Amino acid sequence: MNLAQRYQQIRQHTEYICSPLQTEDYVVQPIEDVSPPKWHLGHTTWFFETFILKPYVPAYKEYNAEYNYVFNSYYESVGTRVIRTDRGNLSRPTVIDIYSYRKYVDEAMYHFLCGDVSAEVHELVILGFNHEEQHQELLYTDIKYILGHNPLFPVYSHEYKVPHQETAADSQFIQVPEGIYEIGFEGDGFCFDNELNRHKVYLNEYRISPNLVTNAEYLEFINSGGYHDFRHWHSEGWGWVNNNKVEAPLYWYLIDGHWHHYTYHGLQPLDMHGPATHISYFEAYAYAAWKGMRLPTEFEWEAASAKFNWGKRWEWTESSYLPYPGFSKAPGAIGEYNGKFMVNQKVLRGASEVTPPGHSRATYRNFFQTHLRWQFTGIRLAM
């Protein structure tokens, strides 16, 4: 598949994710971390227009100069922008306008990519593909939050297929010997800059579970009073639980004595065999402490990742999001992609059921603040 065809495939998949939505669904922003679906559609289009078409296609005519202010996310070097919390106030441009914007940019990009592109542009295009795939996952999770906080609990799509949840036949913890391990990306292909540079770390002997914690296992923590026992929690986590009156993972509801959870198929009885999800770092830590265990570090996770199945949930680790040795930010706006967020966040490893195929790697470093749980986050134990 050539570059132009790959571009079309990725862009069409983004619109496929949005195809079950009604117009009103496109504009909702319930909380700061959830962006309206129409903003994702515009922002991913703005990325290609701003970083490829405008600088590299001399005859290109910008679609609308005001869109830079509307769809810039956090790139300080590209100019001012609508603050994140106000994205839901944008009744204009309309959904129809944004789809017209996408069509305009897509036609220009396809024509451009059918010609010869330099190595520099090729690298930017591949970054743009991966950027859009990140937003495809965000679209899925933001849509779930939007619909999951509608009191009618509407179905997103009956066609959404829940992935088969594999459990290792042998549930014995995997023993990993002490030693020096190499961490980080190497080889051909794409990676984000925060996966570089490959380096050595020393790890003490440890054990790690071959399975994710299930809903049934997490329910034991709830039934034991885990949300009401300060001994399992960090001080900040205990404050978060009490200030927000948290009693269960996001989307869990106790109805007439039975647990249900909101899914893309609407409100359903809780799947006891499925991996626990929409868990904050605070909850993951508390559960591990209750079990007398801990979360793995990101280095322990990566060193053992070939020994277990991963990819159904983003897995919290005990590692703070920090640069690897020798990390350096690229010049200009592209350098703002990861480096400036390396503070006050925890690393998650793996992928999720809504991560686009081919977008995951054992070296991929996701990162979120400790209280967030709208993503498909889960728990793997270590000791």
When mean pLDDT is compared over 64-68, 75-79, 96-100, the highest value belongs to: 96-100
- HSE-up (13 A, CA, CB side) for residue 351: 20
d(CA 112, CA 125): 11
Q: Residue 129 in contact with residue 10, Cβ under 8 Å?
A: yes
d(CA 192, CA 286): 31
d(CA 250, CA 282): 13
Q: What pLDDT does 78 receive? A: 65
Q: Residue 275 in contact with residue 213, Cβ under 8 Å?
A: yes
Tens-place pLDDT, residues 367-380: 999 999 999 999 99
Q: If pLDDT is split at 50, 70 and 90, which confidence band does 151 have?
A: very high
Helix (H, G, I), strand (E, B) or coil at 259: strand
Question: Greatest CA span in the chain, whole angstroms?
Answer: 66
Q: Mean pLDDT score of the chain, rounded to an integer?
A: 95
Q: What angle do CA 296, 188, 5 make, to 5 degrees?
A: 110
d(CA 169, CA 301): 20
- Cβ-defined contacts of 123-129 (< 8 Å, 24+): 124/51, 124/52, 124/334, 125/3, 125/7, 125/52, 126/190, 127/190, 127/334, 127/337, 128/47, 128/48, 128/51, 128/52, 129/6, 129/7, 129/10
Can you tell me the mean pLDDT for 321-341? 82
Q: If pLDDT is split at 50, 70 and 90, which confidence band does 79 have?
A: confident
d(CA 304, CA 287): 21
The pLDDT of residue 291 is above 90: yes
Q: What pLDDT does 72 receive? A: 87
Q: What pLDDT does 77 receive? A: 59
Q: Is 277 exposed, middle or buried (0-12, 13-18, 19+ CB in 10 A)?
A: buried
Tens-place pLDDT, residues 236-277: 999 999 999 999 999 999 999 999 999 999 999 999 999 999
d(CA 383, CA 204): 11
Tens-place pLDDT, residues 103-135: 999 999 999 999 999 999 999 999 999 999 999
Q: Which amino acid is at 365?
A: R
Phi, psi of 254 (to 5 degrees): -95, 110
d(CA 210, CA 380): 8
Strand 346-350 to 314-320 pairing: antiparallel
Q: What pLDDT does 80 receive? A: 77
Q: What angle do CA 356, 361, 363 make, to 5 degrees?
A: 140
d(CA 184, CA 198): 4
Tens-place pLDDT, residues 161-177: 887 767 777 789 999 99
Q: What pLDDT does 34 receive? A: 97
The pLDDT of residue 333 is above 70: no
- HSE-up (13 A, CA, CB side) for residue 294: 11
Residue 363, both tokens: 């070296």
Q: In this predicted model, which residue has the larger pLDDT, 77 or 24?
A: 24
Q: Residue 215 in contact with residue 378, Cβ under 8 Å?
A: no
Can you tell me the mean pLDDT for 324-343? 81
Q: If pLDDT is split at 50, 70 and 90, which confidence band does 290 have?
A: very high
Q: What angle do CA 239, 243, 247 make, to 5 degrees?
A: 95
Q: Which amino acid is at 129?
A: F
The pLDDT of residue 50 is above 80: yes
Give the helix ranges, DSSP H, for 171-306.
215-223, 235-244, 281-290, 298-304
Strand 252-255 to 258-263 pairing: antiparallel
